[in-house]
Amino acid sequence: MTALKLRLAVIDYDVCKPRKCSYECISVCPVNKSGRGVAIDADMAARGKPVIYEDACIGCALCVKACPFDAIYIVNLPQELEEEAVHRYGVNGFKLFRLPIPREGQVVGLLGRNGTGKTTAIRILSGEVKPNLGRVEGPEPGWDEIIRRFRGSELQTYFKQLSEGKLRTAHKIQYVELVPRRLKGRVRDLLARADEKGVYLDLASEIGLDKVLDRDVRHLSGGELQKMLIVATLSKDANVYIFDEPSSYLDIRERMRVSKIISRAARPGTYVVVVEHDLSVLDYLSDNIHLLYGEPGAYGIVSKPYSSREGINIFLEGYLPAENIRLRKEPIKFRKPAEVGLDAKPSGGPRRIVGWTSLKVELQGFTLEAEEGELSGGEIVGVAGPNGIGKTTFVKTLAGVLKPSEGAVYPYVEGLRVSYKPQYISPEALPDATVFEVLKAANPAAVVPGSWLYLELVKKLRLDRMMDRKARTLSGGELQRLAIAVSLSREADIYLLDEPSAYLDVEERVNVARIIRRVIETREAAALVVEHDLMILDYVSDRISLVSGEPGVYGRVNTPRPVKAGMNLLLQELGVTVRKDDQTGRPRINKEGSYLDRMQRARKLFYAA
């Protein structure tokens, strides 16, 4: 057995509030009480926040239990791991062990829960953070020591080149909405300035960014910002290309296009590293995958590299055999529609909410048509389609806010109410209020501890730890969870959630799918969930509705169909075929022109899952 001697004490200083507690953490510590040493102490230089000395601490975890705010995390790890510590943020900060290994000419993918160090790892690989090898006191390690640490692996050569300035890196950041704060001006000028290879116009036209080149960056949508950053990164004359979540805010077609241009960057002499939570995209894009595991916010360990198929399957299974590590109690399983009878009937309950005949809605410059349909309480209709295609317009028509010029809407519920979560949440547009205040304004019951809404939304979306923080200071993933809680806490008959999975990790996406289901079943409401992650679309939907046309000009909403039929039609429109993975049942995109691709195409079986 491995000796567990490496003590790790991490304090979340965002939630630690010495002014609101009585230093329970310090008063219960047996080491301090014994008088033989000090394991935990108030650090007066840091506004009285506590500091834990790992050498003196015996790991009893009494302080963890005593803290009223759950601010402390203590764990004992195998001693050998210490030699593989790569970076630590401060004395009781997050600690990263091991690193992913970039491979020349290949795309290396990173997959793991939010807060396990993916961004830290790529900031180290891109040279933005110099690794301190876990040493937070004393002199920082020099490059010689860092290079020696990685001897025998490809990282040795990599860091040698990086330290000698022989690697030029280009890094697409995760949160695209931060860009308009830092960059000003027209898209065309910004891209022209970033371009070192004379390729930006070609790339922009290949991923459909050419229409907005003359727009000011302040007026771009989330998806347009994402594409702009991807083009800017790829137009750098670099030999390391790093992409942190390139698919957020993009529709499925755009995700495929972006995957193609990113894969092309992996040539001899270049390294490509990608963090991505859309598993179909990650699978399609990467040659190798490293999983990151550990305790979010406390520590992260990078696994050995796996092939993309094996890595994703192990991740879903939740068990790493080589490391003998369990990632979570249960595997993540993907229902197969036929097995749960979804192809037979929609799972909606008896409460009918709204019906409509075929419709036409004419706005200035935009026309929407819809095939007839009906929504029932307790059902989730997955909506697939690009942005600006009329999904919001359609729901406004169902709610009676917009009037159709042809056809009619039949609400079965008086005063039909809609609650909407927009796709893109600009930090600038947020009120100057705390998470608590924002939730309370949406529904006072949501902030009453013990109420079903509090348990279902605040607890399960882990907002309880951030109630006092200003909404404006939240990260993209935290803001997404708040926006989901706000829209689901409102009383409504139809919930329209536009891309609730952006910035969430796979576990959170599955968790959100379950939360949506419980809320709409309790309220006998219906949900329309716009989802661009194929696997989550399949997972979340009882039925699927496609919206196609020309964004900003014309849109057509299809009647909601059973999942399998809806997926088949969607993939046919996209021109891709998808097979089922034998082991996990997850959908996998076939490589264009492969044997399975040709065979499925010939049989018009676009979705063989």
Q: Residue numbers of the site for ligand SF4 (CB under 6 A)? A: 16-18, 21, 23-25, 28-31, 39-40, 50, 52, 57-63, 67, 69, 71-72, 74
Q: How far is CA 456 from CA 17, 331, 500, 508, 538, in A?
A: 26, 22, 16, 14, 23
Please say which residue, 61 or 413, places its beta carbon nearer to ligand SF4: 61
Please say which residue, 37 or 142, places its beta carbon nearer to ligand SF4: 37
Separation of alpha carbons 536 and 541, rounded Å: 8
Separation of alpha carbons 301 and 99, rounded Å: 8
Three-state helix/strand/coil letters over 410-455: EECCCCCCEEEECCCCCHHHCCCCEHHHHHHHHCHHHHCCCCHHHH
Taking residue 276's Cβ as centre, other Cβ atoms within 10 Å add up to 26
Nearest distance in Å: CB 301, ligand SF4: 21
Selection from ligand ADP, ligand SF4, none that 95 binds (CB < 5 to 8 A by kind) is none
Please say which residue, 56 or 433, places its beta carbon nearer to ligand SF4: 56
The helix (run of H) or strand (run of E) holding residue 525 is: none
Those residues whose C-beta lies under 8 Å from the C-beta of residue 609, and which sit 6 or more positions away, are: 336, 538, 564, 567, 578, 579, 580, 585, 586, 587
Please say which residue, 15 or 485, places its beta carbon nearer to ligand SF4: 15
Q: CA-based diameter of the chain, in Å?
A: 83
As a dihedral over the C-alpha atoms of residue 88, residue 287, residue 156, residue 75, rounded to 10 degrees, the angle is: 30
Q: What is the DSSP string of 44-60?
A: GGGTTEEEE-TTT----
Nearest distance in Å: CB 388, ligand ADP: 4
Q: List interacting residues with ligand ADP (CB under 6 A).
A: 89, 93-94, 114-120, 297, 363-366, 387-393, 552
Are the beta carbons of 88 and 136 closer than 8 angstroms?
Answer: yes
Nearest distance in Å: CB 361, ligand ADP: 9
Could you tell me the two tokens for 389?
Answer: 């295609």
Could you tell me the two tokens for 34?
Answer: 């014994």
Please say which residue, 58 or 136, places its beta carbon nearer to ligand ADP: 136
Selection from ligand SF4, ligand ADP, none that 118 binds (CB < 5 to 8 A by kind) is ligand ADP
Separation of alpha carbons 385 and 550, rounded Å: 10
Nearest distance in Å: CB 7, ligand SF4: 8
Please name every residue paired with 554 in a beta bridge, in sequence order, or none if there are none: 367, 550
Please say which residue, 30 or 341, places its beta carbon nearer to ligand SF4: 30
Selection from ligand SF4, ligand ADP, none that 23 binds (CB < 5 to 8 A by kind) is ligand SF4
Selection from ligand SF4, ligand ADP, none that 450 binds (CB < 5 to 8 A by kind) is none
Please say which residue, 9 or 274, places its beta carbon nearer to ligand SF4: 9
Selection from ligand SF4, ligand ADP, none that 387 binds (CB < 5 to 8 A by kind) is ligand ADP
Selection from ligand SF4, ligand ADP, none that 58 binds (CB < 5 to 8 A by kind) is ligand SF4
CA 86 to chain centre: 24
Those residues whose C-beta lies under 8 Å from the C-beta of residue 560, and which sit 6 or more positions away, are: 346, 373, 375, 381, 543, 544, 545, 566
Selection from ligand ADP, ligand SF4, none that 564 binds (CB < 5 to 8 A by kind) is none
Selection from ligand ADP, ligand SF4, none that 52 binds (CB < 5 to 8 A by kind) is ligand SF4
Nearest distance in Å: CB 31, ligand ADP: 26
Please say which residue, 72 or 232, places its beta carbon nearer to ligand SF4: 72
Please say which residue, 73 or 424, places its beta carbon nearer to ligand SF4: 73
Selection from ligand SF4, ligand ADP, none that 579 binds (CB < 5 to 8 A by kind) is none
Are the beta carbons of 250 and 172 closer than 8 angstroms?
Answer: no
Selection from ligand ADP, ligand SF4, none that 75 binds (CB < 5 to 8 A by kind) is none
Nearest distance in Å: CB 14, ligand SF4: 11
Please say which residue, 389 or 544, places its beta carbon nearer to ligand ADP: 389
Nearest distance in Å: CB 65, ligand SF4: 9
Nearest distance in Å: CB 336, ligand SF4: 46
Block residue for tokens 């809407």: 409
